[in-house]
Structure 1
């Protein structure tokens, strides 16, 4: 059951990535026009866009090494060397056809840079949003006590 759920997630991510990315970028451009680009809300939108790119690229890279037709046919169809097996790596995303004639990569070259760049953008934007976020607010009761007794504060 978990394999089916994992496959379903990998199927949905590349489909969801373009609309999520488009909405995030549209909202960011709208905020840039209003002059409110460097606030926590805008930075979290940028983090969502980066995470969307990273997850979508990761899902596409993971799909590239999966075959329903068998290893030999999959490697031959992709233009790689004839192979006995396909070796998968999670990070960096890799699927290599390994055989007597050498090894050939099935994952496109743009996948790993997109995963790393999207993850970096998401992490930096989230950290910056946390740094720019306002601190904890005082409750109205604490403000009332401070006004009533100013030497306490």
Structure 2
């Protein structure tokens, strides 16, 4: 005896949906196979990621912007405190710098100063090293920028 599937009418389908309850905003309309395809697309090795090494406030700002990534005991960010050992900074920087899927490394001004010797040996095209000011170094950064502007202006005369 062959089992027959009962055709669902729109009324039966809406009853079944109401029994399951409304979907929350975090639930997805994707099936399992579609979700696997989506996950594979996100894990594409051709996608370049951004890494951050900065003080906690700057790093948290970038994490809130959505650049945080953690996979297989690797994460693309490091919150640097003044007590962070130089050895840890250098090892994390080199680990991030050598990864093929990192396209930009964002460093705050203080961390970049601490890593100056290591950064001078780095001459690859990618990843691009970007230095951003933090609260404590903003005045120093702006003073240096103003000083350089004055020197350029003086040289132009």
- Give the TM-score normalised by structure 2: 0.19
In terms of fraction of residues, the more strand-rich structure is 2
In terms of fraction of residues, the more helix-rich structure is 1
- Give the TM-score normalised by structure 1: 0.19
Instruction: Give the greater-gyration-radius structure (CA).
Output: 2
